[in-house]
Structures are given as C-alpha cells and as structure tokens.
Structure 1
Amino acid sequence: MTGQRTYGGSTADQRRTQRRTALLGAALDILGTQGIDKLTVSALCSGAGLNERYYYENFAGRDAVLSALFDTIAEELATALLAGLQSAPDDTRAKAHAAITAGIHVLTEDPRKARVALVVSTATPELRTRTTHTIKAFANLVAAEGIDFYGITESQPDPLIGFRATYLVGGLVQTLMAWLQGDIPMTRDELVEATTDVFVLLGEDLAREIRR
C-alpha cells in the first residue's frame, strides 16, 4: 500500500482534520459571541482562514456544523467526567463531586460552549432530538458508573437505575442552563455542592433499596 503524500510535514488526512478543527473553532467563536444568525459559510471560512471549498469538503450545511460542534463538546464533557471519577477517592461523595465539578467546569470556564449547547438544544427538531440522545448517553454513563461503583451484578439491573440516572442528568442540564441564564442566584461552587448533594442522596437511597 502506498503511503500518503506529506506536505509541510502533514498527510492529506491530517491537513483535512486540521481544517475541520479550524472551522469548528470558528463556529464556536461565532456562536458563543455573536449568535446563530452570524453562522454563515463566509463567516466560518473567514474565522478559520480557509477557502470556502474546504467548508464543503467537511460539512453539508449549518446543521452539520452545529452537530459536529455539539458532539465535540459532549466528548470533552465525557472525557472530563471520567477523568474526574478515576482520580477521585473511592467514596460516594468524592466521586460525585469530582465528576460534577469536571463537567460544570467544562461548560463554565469557556461560556461559549454552554451557549452552543443552548443553541443546539432549540435550533431545529433534528438538533433537539440530538440533544435528547446525548442526554440519554450521559444518563447511561451515570447508570453504568453507579452499577460498577455499588457492585450491582444482576444481569438485568433494576429499571429504577436508568430512571434515576435520566432524572439526574436531565435535571442537571435544565438547572445548569437556568443558572447560566442568571435564574439561579448561586456561585459555581454552591451549584457544584448542591448538585453533588442531590446525586449522592438519590444514588445512596437507590443502592439501599436494591440491596434489601
């Protein structure tokens, strides 16, 4: 098999990845500072410093850009959550606090990312559906981590596990969005502590019920 040609030390695939990353970076900046109405092909390409043909090389339209950017942020969130869990002591509150802190920090240290989540969750029916699927994926992650942490070995875990995980993640998303919009007068640290309290309360309560 013939290897890919390199140009400037990069292969064609690497250069395409770099261009896609640049376009998504421009999209994040536009959405996060100007709004969805300013997310045009010319604005994206100008922000990324690229010719318009490279936009069409990577994306079929604006929804595709929004979806890709949303997925990138979701992947960053998942990575941060898992890193927080793995680094925390083997204690219910410590695990919950580390994961929640990591996730909330991703969306608040760069407020543009939270604005993207807000835009995508309401932009179109297809993107609203994508948001729902992403929340479900995070709920599944919470449920799986809880099953592992509490040593639940049943082949068919109690449906309440999935219910509470979905309730917690969905509730956290809505609460975080309200907080970002200024509707909940709490500091970020207070938000983390209050959210941790809820996760621990519902997780410990369910674990006790299952063990009976």
Structure 2
Amino acid sequence: MTTERVYGGLPRLERRERRRQRLLEAALDAIGEGGLKGLSLRSVCARAGLTSRYFYESFRDLDELLVALFDRVADEVTGATLDAVAQAPWDALARAHAGLEAAIHVITDDHRKAKLLLISGSGPESLQRRRREQLVQVATVMSKLTRDFYGADRVTPTDARLTTITFAAGYVELLHEWLSGSLPVSRTRLVDHMARIFVASATVHSGRAAAPPPSE
C-alpha cells in the first residue's frame, strides 16, 4: 500500500488543482485588462507565479485554458441561477426575475467575466464551440425548470426545448449588446424585460396540427 506524498501540508492532487486555479485566475485577469490580446502563455504564467511546466501540467494550450475558464464562469452562473430560483416564491415572474438577476449579477459584478463573455463569440473556434454547447446546456436546465413549474402535461419536452433554446440564444445576444454599451438601459429594466418575455413564452406550444381552412 502506498500513501500520497504531502508537501507543505497539501497532497499532490490538491497542489495541482490549486496551481490550475491560479492559472485560470491569471488568465481571467489578463482578459479583464487586455482581452485576448493580453493573453499569452508567458503572461498567464507570470501572473500566476508559475513556470510553463505547470501550465502544461493542466492544459495542452491556451485554447484549452480558455475553454476551461469559460466552463468555470458558466458553472458559476448556472449555480447562482439555480440557487436563486429555488429560493424565490412559487410565482413564474418572481422565479424568472430571480434567476436572471442572479446570472447577470455574477457577470456584471466582475468586469473580467463580462469581458470573457464579450469575446466568447469571436474567440478561437474551440471557445465558440463551447459557447454554443453551454447555451444548449442552459436551455436544458431552463426546460426542466419550466416543466417542473407548469407541469409536464402543460408543456411538452419539445415545446419547452424550442422555447428555451430560442430564449437562451436571445438572452446571450441581448446581454452581449448591453455589456458592449450598445443598449443603454438600466440593469433593472433589462432583467425585468427578459423575465417578462420568458414568462410570456414559457407555455407556447406548436405541436398540434393546424386547423383545416373553413369550408365555403
């Protein structure tokens, strides 16, 4: 039986994870200051106080680091959203408002995360692909929440998926416009408008056959 060697009071895997998080945080700092132009292996390692050896311990290249960083922020947004919805009153508008407010709070209260979101649609292909994948995952979570609230007999899986993918895509683009300064409205109005749109569309259905034209 072998035991894991411990240095500085921390086992090897925990030390490795801490180094990984330092690199991610350093990358977020670099993006916050200069966008993708300020991101390089050298700058990330310098900010993290680590050598390139430790960079390659966790990531193959900068693209993989960017995807991991995007995943970390996306997970934070999803977690905050679910927590807020769970604590909100059992009311459609209140729950939609709470979830959207929590998501925007995570993004807008840290300019680095806002900058990451802004570049995610025009960065490396791997980052753009993960952005699309995360959008579908967000829609899946929203679809489940919608059916749990309204009832599976009122909102079919297909209707819920059609609605939530449409909303999630529109939400991301609207947030992008707002963060870039192209949409001069308050955060309060932005959240309220999006919440009302979601509630208005949540129970839209299109599965029934179209009614035949009236006979003459």
| Cα contact 1:66–1:120 (8 A) shared by 2 | no
Alignment deviations for residues 149-186 of structure 1 (CA, whole Å, 9 cap, x no partner): 112159x9342211110111110100000000111111
Cα distance change, pair 91–38 in 1 and its aligned pair in 2 (3 A): same
Shift, 1:2, TM fit: 2.6
Q: Given residue 81 of structure 2, which amino acid in structure 1 is its aligned partner?
A: L
Which residue of structure 2 lines up, in the alignment, with residue 111 of structure 1? Answer: 111
Which residue of structure 1 lines up, in the alignment, with residue 74 of structure 2? Answer: 74
- Describe the SS at the equivalent of 1:115: helix
Shift, 1:81, TM fit: 0.7
Matches within 5 A, 1:12-31: 12-31=12-31
Q: Given residue 165 of structure 1, which amino acid in structure 2 is its aligned partner?
A: T
Which residue of structure 1 lines up, in the alignment, with residue 211 of structure 2? Answer: none
Shift, 1:66, TM fit: 0.4
Matches within 5 A, 1:74-93: 74-93=74-93
Structure (1 or 2) with the greater helix fraction: 1
Matches within 5 A, 1:58-207: 58-153=58-153, 157-203=156-202, 205-206=203-204
> More deviation in 17-26 or 194-203?
194-203
**For the aligned residues, what is the CA RMSD?**
1.8
| Cα contact 1:30–1:39 (8 A) shared by 2 | yes
Q: Given residue 127 of structure 1, which amino acid in structure 2 is its aligned partner?
A: L
Q: Given residue 124 of structure 1, which amino acid in structure 2 is its aligned partner?
A: P
Higher Cα radius of gyration: 2
Alignment deviations for residues 66-85 of structure 1 (CA, whole Å, 9 cap, x no partner): 00000000100110110011
Q: Given residue 178 of structure 1, which amino acid in structure 2 is its aligned partner?
A: E
TM, length-normalised to structure 2: 0.91
Alignment deviations for residues 104-149 of structure 1 (CA, whole Å, 9 cap, x no partner): 1111000211211222221122321211111000001100110111
Matched positions, count: 207
Q: Given residue 184 of structure 1, which amino acid in structure 2 is its aligned partner?
A: L
Q: Given residue 122 of structure 1, which amino acid in structure 2 is its aligned partner?
A: S
Q: Given residue 159 of structure 2, which amino acid in structure 1 is its aligned partner?
A: L
| Cα contact 1:93–1:200 (8 A) shared by 2 | yes
Residue ranges of structure 1 left out of the alignment (5+ in a row)? none
| Cα contact 2:143–2:157 (8 A) shared by 1 | no
Q: Among all aligned residue pairs of Structure 1 and Structure 2, give the percentage whose two residues are the same amino acid.
A: 36
Alignment deviations for residues 4-63 of structure 1 (CA, whole Å, 9 cap, x no partner): 121111110000000000000000010111121221111111101112210111111110
